[in-house]
Structure formats: C-alpha cells, structure tokens
Amino acid sequence: MKKKKVLSLIMATAMVLSLAGCGGSDNSSSSGSDSSAASESGDAAADTADDSAADSGESAASGDAVTVEVWSNNRHDETYMTQKVEEFNSTHSDIQINYTIMADDWSNSIQLAYQANTAPDVMAVSASDGLKLSEWVGAGMFESLTSYIEGSEDFKTVTEALDHKYDYLNSIGDDIYWVPTGVRSGTRIEYNIGLLKDAGYDAVPSTLAEMVEAAGKITANGAGSYYGVGFTQNGFGRWLEGIGEMSGLNHMGYDYENGVFDFTEWAELLKLGNQFYANGDVLPGSETQGVDNNRALFAQGSFCFWGNASQEAGVFTDQFPCSFDWGVAELPTMEGTVKGALSCTPNFGWAMLSSAKDKEAAWKVIEYFGSEEFLKGYFEGGYSAPLGSYMAGKIDASKTGRLGDFALQDYEDVYPSVPTVIVDGDDYAITMWNVILGNLDADEAVADLNTRYNDALERGIENGSCQRVTIAGFDKLHPSKGTAVYGE
C-alpha cells in the first residue's frame, strides 16, 4: 500500500482521443471550473499575447534559434507574461518563445491542434481546467517531465516539484507531467463594509443562519435599491459548497471512509440556502447573469455579499473597481466552527506536448517559467499566490495588494478527488442549486442524489471506467494526508 497525495482517482483506460476529444469536464467542484473560466481565462476568444512578442520570436528565430510555441488560456496575466517573454527572447539567441493566448474551448482546441500536427510545444495547465490527465497521457499527448526535473536542482528547489505530486492531477506513478507553482484560494465572502455596518454588523456572521438574518436586514434597509446577496448562474458552487466543506460535510458528497456517495447531511444547508430566496434577499435576476455582470453589480453597490476565491483581489481592484470600501471574510459555517477543509486549487503549471519539436528547448522554457526571478514577479504582481513555502518566503507580501486578504488558512487543502462517475440526470451541483432556488425539496433531492450517484459508481466499477477509493486515516481537516486504497 503506498501513501501519497491523491487528487484524482480517475483510472481511465488508455485511449486515442477522437477529434471531439475528452472535453472540458471538470473533476473538481463546480466553483473551480466556473470561477476559473470567468475570471482567470477572461473572455472566451483566441488572441496573441502581444504582436511584438511574436514578432521578436520570429525575427530572432531565423538562423539557428529554435522557436518554442507556448499556448495559454490565461488572460489575467497577459501583461506580465508578454513582458517576461520579451525579456527571454531578447536574452536568448538559441531559443525564442512564441506566446499565444487561446481561451476559446481550451481543451478541445489543444486536442484538435494535436491531431492536425499544429499543437504547441508547451501549454498552460491548472487544476481548475478540468483536464483529465489519465486521458491525455493515455493518448500519448503529454511528455513526462520527471527526468528533466531530476536534472534541475534550481527547478526542484524553487517549485518544490517533488512535494507537489498529486496523483492523476499532475502525476501518474513516478511520472510528473506538470508542476503547479501557484494556488487559488478557497472561497471567501467579499462584502460591502458600509451596507453591512448600516445593518448593525461589524463583521460577516460566523454561521450561515446568522448570515441569512443579516441579508434580510440589509435588504430591508435597501428598500429595493440594494439587496443582501447576489448569486450567479448555478451559484451553489460559488460559495455555499465551501460552507458545507468547512462544516464537515462530505466533499462532493463522497464518503472517503466508506467509499460511497452520501449527500444526506447536505439537506440542512440547502434549506438554509433556500431562505435567501424565500425571504426575497437576493438581487432579482442575478442568478440569470454571468459572473462578470454580477461582479460589476457588486462593485456598484447593488448587493452586500458576494462569494468567490482569490482572483477577486484583482477583479475588484482593476477590472471592476468598487465604489466603496470592501472587505474579505472567511466563510461562515453551519455551527460557527470549522470541521472540514475548504478546497483550494493548485494552478499555474506548464505541460510539454509529446509532439514538441525540440524537447530540450521546450524544457528550458518551462524551467524559465518556474525560476525564482520569474515567479517572484508573478506572485508580487498578484496574479496567483505561491503554492510552496520556498516562494512564499521570497516574495514581498506588501506588493501583492488585496491578494493578501486571501492568504491560505490552516484548514485549506487539496482534496482527493472522488471517482468520476457518469450520472443519470442532473449532477449534484445543479440539483443542489435547484433546491436553493426552491424548485426541489431538499430531503427528496439528497435521497435521489444518493441513489443516482451510487448506482453510477457501481456501474463504473463494473465496466472499469473508475475505481472505488477509500482513504485510510482520512482526516476531514487535512484530506490530502492519508493512504489511498483503490478497488473493493
């Protein structure tokens, strides 16, 4: 039995990807995929980072220089990445980087390019992308970075690569396919300090029930001009799911100790969440709007409570500057105490495509993106928070702006992912959101989820598309520790 950090339990059979590809199905919570697509990738459109960066690569690449094609789906760091690519190109005569932002249908775009022999040499990877590593590796698309990492002491030290191996997220067995260097925090509550104070509160309440009450007072004060809460499309995963995790409820409904799905304890939280709507304390129509529209409405003072992760540090500073003083608070819990870990998301890594024309050159680019000098500027620019202690000790926190308000807490951790199952009907996040909207009964919904998810689990085990997992020594406050046991 092998003790190791486990982040994904997908044991998919190796297969060649079709042109349709494996899609962007997210194996993490809905908050991970939704917020990433809305905030970190920016608008869904393909674009080059900067014409001058591309031009400098093309001109210097003439002669003996090797051009390394790098694609990213991140637009929020475009200015910094363009600057650093230009710096690299101006100081290297042997290797030039051609950097492209391609945020439109990211996963399928890479797969289609691979099939057409036009794929990049290096691509950006984050846990929130929903990329299923076993499928990409099984199709032979990714190159193992293990030997390169072992040969680079500086890279190992700076990125702490060997300490951040997450099975079936960035590694399979001894092979590491990408190294996360940053982390997106778990969800926080962003709030309008003035509106909360006018309702008689000096701080965000510590329990969900008290927060429902506070939202009611804020809405009453607003008399139709502002409300207590703003949600967004399928808003369950935005922050209510985090409240459940911190309250000790089963992450994504999975019982790691017994290896089955059990959503039963979620019913009470769903009933309380529904009270925001039943009491009329949600900005009307916000749940039909996209995340950026609701961010803009929050910044204008249309509601008091908004929930999202550390990317909001930059959003409400630069993209949608708030017209008021805004605060950041830890999520409330059901009973006012933290009983479980809030999931956080490793990000900002780079994978080498197996089709890379010059793998040594591609590795040199990945090594550059993982260097201390590069990462120091990245983190101090507030584009992400450092995942490892080495870089956390190298940055000047005073330069990170509001990102400091999202510093990781002791109870934040990377959860082992649940077995990936194909469920009949709506998934758990949509089902729970419908309960909060008042469309479904909470008790009936969780009972139905238990039936459908466990049926899907048994089918998956039988047909070999997934394996049951239990975690020996599972600790809800430290879920990444413990021993994973696969199979029956």
Which class is domain 30-184+345-413? Answer: alpha beta
Kindly tell me if the per-residue pLDDT of 8 is higher than 60: no
Q: Which residues of 295-328 are buried (b: 16+ CB within 10 A; e: fewer)?
A: bebbbebbbbbbbbbbbbbbbbeebbebeeebeb
**Neighbouring C-beta atoms of residue 223, cutoff 10 Å:** 7
pLDDT digits (tens, 9 = 90+) for 132-191: 888 899 999 999 999 999 999 999 999 999 999 887 789 988 999 999 999 988 999 999
The pLDDT score that the predictor gives to residue 63 is 59
pLDDT digits (tens, 9 = 90+) for 338-365: 999 999 889 999 999 999 999 999 999 9
Kindly tell me if the per-residue pLDDT of 32 is higher than 50: no
Q: Are 109 and 158 in contact (CB under 8 A)?
A: no
Kindly tell me if the per-residue pLDDT of 286 is higher than 80: yes
* Domain ranges for the chain: 30-184+345-413, 188-343
Q: In the predicted model, what is the mean pLDDT of residues 230-256?
A: 95
In this prediction, what percent of the chain has a pLDDT beyond 70? 87
More confident residue, 105 or 361: 361
Q: What is the pTM of this model?
A: 0.76
More confident residue, 265 or 106: 265
**In the CATH hierarchy, which fold is given to the domain comprising 188-343?**
D-Maltodextrin-Binding Protein; domain 2 (3.40.190)
Kindly tell me if the per-residue pLDDT of 264 is higher than 80: yes
Q: Are 365 and 68 in contact (CB under 8 A)?
A: yes
The pLDDT score that the predictor gives to residue 129 is 81
> Of the candidates 440, 407, 415, 406, which has an alpha carbon nearest to the alpha carbon of residue 241?
415
**Neighbouring C-beta atoms of residue 200, cutoff 10 Å:** 10
The pLDDT score that the predictor gives to residue 118 is 96
3-state SS assignment for residue 59 = helix
* DSSP code at position 303: E
Q: In the predicted model, what is the mean pLDDT of residues 74-88?
A: 92
3-state SS assignment for residue 443 = helix
Least confident of 19-33, 125-139, 362-376: 19-33
Q: In the predicted model, what is the mean pLDDT of residues 451-470?
A: 93
pLDDT digits (tens, 9 = 90+) for 373-386: 999 999 998 888 89
The pLDDT score that the predictor gives to residue 7 is 35
Type and span of the H or E element at 407: none
The pLDDT score that the predictor gives to residue 28 is 35
Q: How far apart are the first and last CA of the chain?
A: 14
355 conformational bin, left if phi > 0, alpha if psi -120 to 50, beta if neither:
alpha
pLDDT digits (tens, 9 = 90+) for 204-231: 999 999 999 999 999 999 999 999 999 9
The pLDDT score that the predictor gives to residue 398 is 86
The pLDDT score that the predictor gives to residue 10 is 30
Q: How confident is the model at residue 41 (pLDDT cuts 50, 70, 90)?
A: very low
The pLDDT score that the predictor gives to residue 481 is 85
The pLDDT score that the predictor gives to residue 34 is 36
pLDDT digits (tens, 9 = 90+) for 413-445: 988 878 889 999 999 999 999 999 999 999 999
The token duo for 103 is 């945020």
The pLDDT score that the predictor gives to residue 362 is 98
Domains 30-184+345-413 and 188-343 share a fold: yes
Q: Which residues contact 6 (CB under 8 A, 6 or more apart)?
A: 166, 167, 168, 416, 417, 469, 471, 480, 484
The pLDDT score that the predictor gives to residue 181 is 96
pLDDT digits (tens, 9 = 90+) for 438-452: 999 999 999 999 999
- How far is the C-alpha of 51 from the C-alpha of 116, rounded, in Å? 24
Kindly tell me if the per-residue pLDDT of 3 is higher than 50: no
Mean pLDDT for the chain overall: 86
Q: In the predicted model, what is the mean pLDDT of residues 38-42?
A: 35
**Neighbouring C-beta atoms of residue 485, cutoff 10 Å:** 15
The pLDDT score that the predictor gives to residue 488 is 62
